[in-house]
Amino acid sequence: MRVLVSDNLAESGIERLQNVPELEVEVNTSLTHEELLQIIKEYDALVIRSGTKVTADIIEAAVNLKVIARAGIGLDNVDIAAASKHGVVVMNTPEGNVITTAEHTIAMLLAVSRNIPQASASLKAGKWEKKRFRGKEVFNKVLGIIGVGRIGRIVADRAKALRMHVIGYDPYISSEVIDKLGIEGVSLDDVFARSDYITVHTPITQETRNIINAEAFKKMKKGVFVLNCARGGIFDEKALYDAIQSGIVAGAALDVFTQEPPVDNPLLSLEQVVVTPHLGASTDEAQENVAMAVADQVIDYLLGGTIRNAVNAPNIDGAVLARLRPYLTLSEKLGSLLMQITRGAIEEVSIEYIGEVTSHETQPLTISILKGMLSPILGDMVNFVNVPIHVKERNIRVTEATRSEAEDFTNLINVYVKTSEEENLVAGTIFGKRDARLVRINDFRLEANMEGHLVLIYNIDTPGTIGAIGTCLGRHQINISMMDVGQVLERGQNIIFLRTDTPVPQHVVDELLAMENVNVVQVLEL
């Protein structure tokens, strides 16, 4: 079997692959997209980092490809949907650089506090400017952490050793769990208002994109320091520039940018900004860890069929996977949809399997549902292997029930969630052999595909409302490719489930919400 390594990988990982007699390993880190497109059909495995773009056309051409393995966490450069469609397993190594990224955050915090890069450059230029680079102590200061996951928790632990007071916000973790970590659980506005330092440790999602924006800066203490060693796009960079210029922000430490490398970014011109070129995971130890982990995962899968750290397949036998795949797809989509329409920290998840689906092992389906629920929250940090760990860390109660006798459908999966703020239920089925369909949202019955750019609208059932919604979208050149309507006649309410060719931007959402009979508009991605 042939393995292509198309991005730089630590030599130890390459050697681990080359030491397996059954594998023929080629390392080529200078391939263009067109060159990769021409040769990918020859390989059974592709090992990458962030440089190689594994697009749908690459996967289409990869007729022998069985696995795409990322040495690291982020999978923005892989078309996971296309890989899943073609039965290609996509793996990452989410634990290899957790400590490294947390340590880089602390290093950046100290560097921006004490003007270390600026003072170093000044001294090397032959100057001696002690007064100019007077800094700040971190002792007794308040560190606000947005995102209290694996990395956020390690940052908190290190910050407490510096005798900082740590407060944290995470809408998907109960305050009870946060408090047990020795972190004071607070609201997002409290983080903005109370913190001397604010650091973000979230994935980049629809919810977190530009979460640190102009309105957020207005709520912060004058003289606050802000840090981003997570993902570019979490900060509105123009708003950050303005906040520094106005004196609200005393300093910023940035390892990531909306565009990388940052071209003509005005933040780079400010002395108050400390920057590094996405070095969060760049230590010898982290690169060794992810290289060895990814090599072992590829070897185990190609030689033994063992799946570890896959983001699109659970750890089960290949033959079982083939039978379960339609249900796995349905399960993950139901979970993702459910959390995208539900606010708050997950407290309880109840799953009911009905009909033909009960003839299969349901544990992988439950894992798939939970992965779908956690993915909008954790992004690439969650996969089929570490789902139980994240569920336990968040103190989520999960219950399952099965019922062999079906009623309206030959197979049905009901998923109910209770959070700190609300409760919701969705249900789905498989039509034919593999077509996943959404058939229920709470009391509303419908029949809809769960794929692409979606919009869920709750409205009062009055003549002309659906037409007005379509007219509004058409006015903004947004084409509707699918529409399903669910009704609760006794309440005079509708839900409208739309798929559009392009995403619906926020200003169009606001226009829809301004309509007299429209109550809720939720933009979803599946």
- % of the chain surpassing 90 pLDDT: 70
Neighbouring CB atoms inside 10 A of 236's CB total 20
Neighbouring CB atoms inside 10 A of 161's CB total 9
Q: How many Å apart are CA 42 and CA 210, to the nearest integer?
A: 42
End-to-end CA distance of the chain: 33
- The stretch 368-397 carries a mean pLDDT of 86
Q: Write down the pLDDT at residue 196.
A: 98
423 is catalytic: no
* pLDDT tier for residue 315 given thresholds of 50, 70 and 90: low
Rounded to an integer, what is the distance from CA 232 to the centroid of its chain?
Answer: 13
**What is the per-residue pLDDT across 234-259, written as a single tens digit (0 to 9) for each?**
999 999 999 999 999 999 999 999 99
Pairing of strands 453-460, 249-254: unpaired
Neighbouring CB atoms inside 10 A of 146's CB total 25
Q: In sequence order, which residues have a C-beta less than 8 Å from that of residue 198 and are 6 or more positions away?
A: 143, 144, 146, 191, 192, 212, 220, 224, 225, 226, 227
DSSP states of 410-431: SEEEEEEEEESS-EEEEEEEEE
Average pLDDT in the chain: 91
Of the residues 442, 473, 506, the one at which a domain ends:
442
Q: How many Å apart are CA 322 and CA 362, to the nearest integer?
A: 14
Whether the CB-CB separation of 147 and 227 falls below 8 Å is answered with no
Element housing 12 (H / E): helix 11-18
Q: How many Å apart are CA 25 and CA 19, to the nearest integer?
A: 10
Q: How many Å apart are CA 341 and CA 524, to the nearest integer?
A: 8
In CATH, what number is assigned to the domain containing residue 111? 3.40.50.720
Which one of the listed residues 15, 260, 271, 423 is annotated catalytic? Answer: 260
Together in a domain, 147 and 243: yes
Burial of residue 497 (number of CB atoms within 10 Å: 0-12, 13-18, 19+): buried
**What is the per-residue pLDDT across 486-521, written as a single tens digit (0 to 9) for each?**
887 666 788 899 999 999 999 999 999 999 889 999
- The stretch 398-414 carries a mean pLDDT of 88
Q: How many Å apart are CA 110 and CA 115, to the nearest integer?
A: 8
Whether the CB-CB separation of 291 and 27 falls below 8 Å is answered with no
Together in a domain, 121 and 159: yes
Together in a domain, 134 and 246: yes
- Whether residue 87 is predicted with pLDDT greater than 80 in this model: the reply is no
Together in a domain, 126 and 269: yes
The two three-digit tokens of residue 316, written as one number: 């089960």
Together in a domain, 452 and 414: no
The two three-digit tokens of residue 292, written as one number: 């060895």
Dihedral of the alpha carbons of 389, 392, 393, 394, in degrees to the nearest 10? 130
In CATH, what number is assigned to the domain containing residue 473? 3.30.70.260
**What is the per-residue pLDDT across 34-54, written as a single tens digit (0 to 9) for each?**
999 999 999 999 999 989 999
DSSP states of 495-518: EEEEEESS---HHHHHHHHTSTTE
Together in a domain, 448 and 409: no
Of the residues 415, 442, 469, the one at which a domain ends:
442
231 is catalytic: yes
Together in a domain, 457 and 478: yes
278 is catalytic: yes
- Whether residue 293 is predicted with pLDDT greater than 80 in this model: the reply is yes
By C-alpha distance, which of 151, 150, 190 is closest to 168? 190
Q: Write down the pLDDT at residue 319.
A: 64
Together in a domain, 120 and 259: yes
Whether the CB-CB separation of 249 and 226 falls below 8 Å is answered with yes
Q: Write down the pLDDT at residue 304.
A: 81
The two three-digit tokens of residue 255, written as one number: 């390892």
Q: Write down the pLDDT at residue 145.
A: 98
Side chain identity at 476, as an amino acid letter?
Answer: H
Q: Write down the pLDDT at residue 307.
A: 82
Backbone region of residue 36 per phi and psi (left: phi > 0; alpha: psi in -120 to 50; beta: other values): alpha
- Whether residue 311 is predicted with pLDDT greater than 90 in this model: the reply is no
SS3 197: strand
19 vs 380: which has the higher pLDDT:
19
Which one of the listed residues 16, 104, 150, 231 is annotated catalytic? Answer: 231
Q: In what order do the strands lie in the sheet with 89-91?
A: 24-27, 2-5, 45-48, 67-70, 89-91
Residue 332: which domain range? 314-442
Together in a domain, 342 and 367: yes
The two three-digit tokens of residue 258, written as one number: 């909306």
Q: In sequence order, which ranges of 277-317 are alpha helices (DSSP H)?
A: 284-304
Element housing 21 (H / E): none
The two three-digit tokens of residue 226, written as one number: 């802000």
Rounded to an integer, what is the distance from CA 463 to the centroid of its chain?
Answer: 39
In CATH, what number is assigned to the domain containing residue 405? 3.30.1330.90
- The stretch 114-142 carries a mean pLDDT of 95
Together in a domain, 66 and 200: no
Which one of the listed residues 49, 70, 201, 278 is annotated catalytic? Answer: 278
- Whether residue 177 is predicted with pLDDT greater than 90 in this model: the reply is no
Q: In sequence order, which ranges of 91-227 are alpha helices (DSSP H)?
A: 98-114, 116-124, 150-161, 175-180, 188-194, 214-218
Report pTM: 0.72
Q: What are phi and psi of 333, to 5 degrees?
A: -65, -40
Together in a domain, 193 and 320: no
Q: Write down the pLDDT at residue 117.
A: 96
Angle, helix 11-18 to helix 284-304, in steps of 10 degrees:
20
Together in a domain, 343 and 354: yes
**What is the per-residue pLDDT across 452-484, written as a single tens digit (0 to 9) for each?**
999 999 988 888 888 999 999 999 999 999 998
Into how many domains does the chain fold?
4
Q: Write down the pLDDT at residue 128.
A: 95
Burial of residue 334 (number of CB atoms within 10 Å: 0-12, 13-18, 19+): buried
Q: In sequence order, which residues have a C-beta less than 8 Å from that of residue 504 and are 6 or more positions away?
A: 453, 455, 473, 478, 523
**What is the per-residue pLDDT across 477-487, written as a single tens digit (0 to 9) for each?**
999 999 988 88
- The stretch 121-132 carries a mean pLDDT of 94
Q: How many Å apart are CA 448 and CA 497, to the nearest integer?
A: 7
Q: Write down the pLDDT at residue 142.
A: 98
Polymer length in residues for the chain: 526
Of the residues 400, 421, 442, the one at which a domain ends:
442
